[in-house]
Chains A and B, each alone.
Chain A
């Protein structure tokens, strides 16, 4: 049984007990514990059930590589599934639940899957649930979803109350990993004067050197770690960060760092996580190595643990994984665990070493302590179900049909060697090489990830580089190489006892038969076994990437940190090829899962997206505005009065604009100043019609097309003076049109003397619309707004009611209309003045829907309704706005292409339903017969459709094949539920065709 020892524990504070619950059971740990350490200290070795077979699972590792000990943390709004107990620092009040069991962790009825493993072998789903088809959705999938999977998703009503943020940072050298290699790299880099950042994912500096007994300059590593951290903290050019994981290395030295600020201290007001967006000149990874499990039958029984992890628990937390531990290894390093356990007074019945001989310094030390070392042996199988009870030993080269010896024990420490953490090196394309001495993949220094200059921008050092001793020298050398500096002070020297080479063992015993291989776990989290990978190979899978997806090896939340190398070694063996020929799967960021909150950062709630407010926004909000989004703006769709429906409000607004006087907030319209000696020439290129001939004080409507001739934007241009024009664009098109102008000016016509300034937000623009509009403006006093002084399509600058304004006589409603521009800071005051002055005239504001109806009654087109990026002006009957005199303008040649001059193009017409109803949006007109795909032929579509309060019936515009030549013809439009709507083709201008009302 795992338990806490009375003494020791370098990271815990026994004076600070922490109370937490696991599956509702109250437990106590110490400050400094990880949750995993606390659970083991409380004798909780069973921590979860496996993915497919619901096998009992225990803690196997001590860090980010942990595949089994995933728990649901927190409750309610703060519940989070799949959190690793090994990287969760315990705190008072922590609530954890085990996952994937039903009904309980101890009694899991779904572990019946375990008795029928042949049903869930590699590719099981692909092979099994094919027939009958309908069963998949209704029977198989619900059962599988119930049975398989890890944590539960949080409740859909849950709202994470924590704060998250991101931050941008910069440095010359970023070192990822704060073990002794990382610390030395930081020290050397800092001594060069470079701006240095050092990140460590755990809460402690120094990595595993203190646990492994590393000596530096003849003293315990801890002394050197302390001195070095203190030295670095004092340097102004060094930025140290704990609890910060290097999540991903991206192009151009861009690195994402995941800082867990309050996971261990949830009561503080700091953000929970912070995502660092670091731009580093050079990156040094000192990410260490991960120990590999051994593949023997029952290697997933709770109590089987990585040897180094067992040592971590013992030294760091004074936690013993068991009272009696058998150590199984193929290398010298695992002897450290045997020695440490024995020195702590725990039972070590035997060290099982797969090698024929074990005569290195560490095995010798173990023997000197009285430990029994069995060489040339391996584990035949583990005894026990929910807990290790013993282990059967056999010859390593045998088939494992019989055991030679049996040991009683309650824990097993295994070590299959080490794999450098090459993830960050690989993210941007750094290549690996197979190390034939260490039997692992390590970074190939000749093939680093390269930057814009073709040089490598990542360097690796320490265990991550496959260097297991003289680590400080390697770290120092990495800095010297990366920075090209030979003059840096030499580092201290780290010493470890010399180790004999390991002997690779990928299957234990080597000739194990199927029943044993079917119980050897490679990927604990996704329940993939040696037999699954071998089956895949027999079925023809050769590529490691295909095998991964077929067997799901390495596809769980741990991304195969323990299983990758073992899996591809087994695959290589099955394919009869060396491991480097098989290669690895792709390492992708993030290194371990990061929270969605950190990715979203501050962008949630009110600042999820920028909301653009016009200068009149507050007035609208206070006066019943029913908002609609227009790009990032909010514009009033209509202003509802108490008791009114939306439709009623819209109809009221339409009638009032036709009968009295109304106001529209047109501030969102784009307003771009185009100025300079070549401004006229420039606008002649931008617009389809002639703008250079416009006289100051005059306005002209124009169309803007892209190079293909497709209509892009429209609006009124006002000439301000000889050299400058004010270009009005659509609300949604302002930024795009401004960018479009700058693109042409900067890239194509760079020698034209034209400046553009986006003045959209400088002005509030208020449309005063309706037969009483002039009367209202005259009441304000100031400039002459009479028909003679300010005729239709003219503009004047002057004063109205003491406001400095520009008044434009333009109309998008067909009524007498003035658009009054005033500096934005005065917009609200002018609006309020107009509302007061017009009270007895029946003044009211109208929203965007009334705007649309008013323009549709007049047959005015709307960019985005009548156009969709495939429509040319000619389609809309706007030939009058296309200059025939100009030799060129943007889109001119595009419009001349064959498809654009095809007489069969769909063209704009008015549409009138025979029964007066409103046509559905986007409805299609049905033609005769079917097309090649068996679909009904169509000959037109609705582009705008409304109920016209003015006319008392539905009105619409649409694009119809040869439409203008078919006036009076009837069309059939398809409606919902196969409805057929008889509609007549009419003139699109349904109201005041001669334009008398706007020109008074």
Chain B
């Protein structure tokens, strides 16, 4: 099946004062539930290896992550091919509880912004105080005119998730923000 699956902008890449690249297909599952329920934490731990994240945090175990999205919403990151089965498994395990799971892998596009100055690039698009954002943090915000989520994966990189339909817009935005010579020297 892999040859018939296409991410939003396969292979899109731009090199400016940071590197912008489309991350390819990424498994994403939306989970809405009472995040304090012990049964949920147990099911997630056994299915993903990840602990329940605190507010605006990401927990990770290998290829799996749990991303806090709102007081009653998580996003599960996993390999793209695994998302349907993982959605089914968790749905079965949580059957009877007030929990909603949905595979949203294809509803989204993901970009990586790589380089020491990723904060300087994103500060041009997102009304966020990036000084307060550290590795392992998630911030839902907007990038210019569209919704975005920023996942800080390490000191040199952030991942940006947006809706798939605006992947082209997001890539163009990020490329403009990262244009060589346009370093604002705000955070570094």
Interface of A with B (CB < 8 Å)? 163, 165-170, 195, 239, 268-271, 274, 277, 279, 602-603, 606-607, 609-615, 633, 673, 675-677, 724, 753, 755, 757-763, 802-804, 823-826, 828-830
B164: Cβ under 8 A from any A Cβ: yes
Pairwise interchain contact B100-A612, C-beta atoms closer than 8 A: no
Pairwise interchain contact A167-B184, C-beta atoms closer than 8 A: yes
Pairwise interchain contact A760-B107, C-beta atoms closer than 8 A: yes
B12: Cβ under 8 A from any A Cβ: no
Pairwise interchain contact A676-B98, C-beta atoms closer than 8 A: yes
Pairwise interchain contact A169-B7, C-beta atoms closer than 8 A: no
Tell me the complex Cα distance, A635–B182, Å.
35
Contact of A823 among B106, B123, B146 (CB under 8 A): B106
In the assembled complex, the CB of B16 is this many whole angstroms from the nearest CB of chain A, namely: 11
Tell me the complex Cα distance, A403–B1, Å.
99
**Given known A-B contacts A167-B184, A603-B144, A759 and B107 have beta carbons under 8 A apart:** yes
Interface centre among B25, B144, B165, B169 (most CB of A within 10 A): B165
Interface centre among A269, A610, A613 (most CB of B within 10 A): A610
Pairwise interchain contact A274-B104, C-beta atoms closer than 8 A: no
**Across the A-B interface, the 10 shortest Cβ-Cβ residue pairs:** A829-B4, A269-B181, A824-B106, A612-B165, A755-B100, A762-B107, A761-B107, A170-B129, A755-B32, A825-B5
Q: How many residues in B have their beta carbons less than 8 Å from beta carbons of A?
A: 47
Pairwise interchain contact A761-B102, C-beta atoms closer than 8 A: no
Contact of A607 among B105, B107, B144, B182 (CB under 8 A): B144
In the assembled complex, the CB of A739 is this many whole angstroms from the nearest CB of chain B, namely: 12
B126: Cβ under 8 A from any A Cβ: yes
Cβ contacts B145-188/A at 8 Å (1 or 0 each)? 11000000000000000011111110011001101111010100
Residues from chain A with a CB closer than 8 A to the CB of B108 are 761
B131: Cβ under 8 A from any A Cβ: yes
The chain A residue with its CB closest to the CB of B2 is: A825
In the assembled complex, the CB of B144 is this many whole angstroms from the nearest CB of chain A, namely: 6
Q: Which residues of chain B from 110 to 133 have any CB-CB distance to chain A below 8 Å in the complex?
A: 123-129, 131
Pairwise interchain contact A675-B179, C-beta atoms closer than 8 A: no
Q: 9 A–B contact pairs at CB < 8 A?
A: A167-B184, A271-B179, A610-B166, A676-B100, A757-B32, A757-B100, A760-B107, A761-B106, A830-B4
**Given known A-B contacts A170-B129, A611-B168, A602 and B144 have beta carbons under 8 A apart:** yes
Tell me the complex Cα distance, A676–B180, Å.
50
In the assembled complex, the CB of B7 is this many whole angstroms from the nearest CB of chain A, namely: 7
Pairwise interchain contact B106-A825, C-beta atoms closer than 8 A: yes
Tell me the complex Cα distance, A918–B107, Å.
41
B21: Cβ under 8 A from any A Cβ: no
- If over half of A's interface residues share one DSSP class (helix, strand or loop), that class is named, otherwise mixed; here it is mixed
The chain A residue with its CB closest to the CB of B168 is: A613
Contact of A673 among B100, B123, B165 (CB under 8 A): B100
Pairwise interchain contact B173-A167, C-beta atoms closer than 8 A: no
For the A-B complex with A277-B127, A825-B105 known, give 11 more contacts whose Cβ atoms are closer than 8 Å: A166-B124, A170-B131, A270-B182, A274-B184, A603-B144, A606-B169, A610-B146, A757-B100, A823-B5, A825-B25, A826-B4
In the assembled complex, the CB of B3 is this many whole angstroms from the nearest CB of chain A, namely: 8
The chain B residue with its CB closest to the CB of A612 is: B165
Tell me the complex Cα distance, A758–B69, Å.
14
Residues from chain B with a CB closer than 8 A to the CB of A757 are 30, 32, 100, 102, 104
**Given known A-B contacts A606-B172, A610-B169, A167 and B186 have beta carbons under 8 A apart:** yes
Cβ contacts B1-45/A at 8 Å (1 or 0 each)? 100111100000000000000000100001010000000000000
Tell me the complex Cα distance, A3–B140, Å.
59
The chain B residue with its CB closest to the CB of A609 is: B145
Pairwise interchain contact A607-B176, C-beta atoms closer than 8 A: yes
Residues from chain A with a CB closer than 8 A to the CB of B129 are 168, 170, 279
Pairwise interchain contact B180-A269, C-beta atoms closer than 8 A: yes
Pairwise interchain contact B100-A762, C-beta atoms closer than 8 A: no
Pairwise interchain contact B98-A753, C-beta atoms closer than 8 A: yes
Tell me the complex Cα distance, A606–B170, Å.
11
In the assembled complex, the CB of B17 is this many whole angstroms from the nearest CB of chain A, namely: 11
B65: Cβ under 8 A from any A Cβ: no
**Given known A-B contacts A239-B186, A274-B184, A615-B164, A169 and B106 have beta carbons under 8 A apart:** no
Residues from chain B with a CB closer than 8 A to the CB of A279 are 129
Q: Which residues of chain B from 26 to 71 have any CB-CB distance to chain A below 8 Å in the complex?
A: 30, 32
**Given known A-B contacts A163-B182, A167-B124, A761-B164, A611 and B107 have beta carbons under 8 A apart:** no
The chain B residue with its CB closest to the CB of A833 is: B4
Residues from chain B with a CB closer than 8 A to the CB of A824 are 106-107, 164
Residues from chain B with a CB closer than 8 A to the CB of A613 are 165-168
**Given known A-B contacts A271-B182, A602-B144, A615-B164, A823 and B105 have beta carbons under 8 A apart:** yes
In the assembled complex, the CB of A887 is this many whole angstroms from the nearest CB of chain B, namely: 25
Residues from chain B with a CB closer than 8 A to the CB of A607 are 144, 169, 172-173, 176
Residues from chain A with a CB closer than 8 A to the CB of B102 are 673, 757, 759, 762
In the assembled complex, the CB of A709 is this many whole angstroms from the nearest CB of chain B, namely: 30
Residues from chain B with a CB closer than 8 A to the CB of A633 are 165
In the assembled complex, the CB of B32 is this many whole angstroms from the nearest CB of chain A, namely: 4
Residues from chain A with a CB closer than 8 A to the CB of B32 are 755, 757
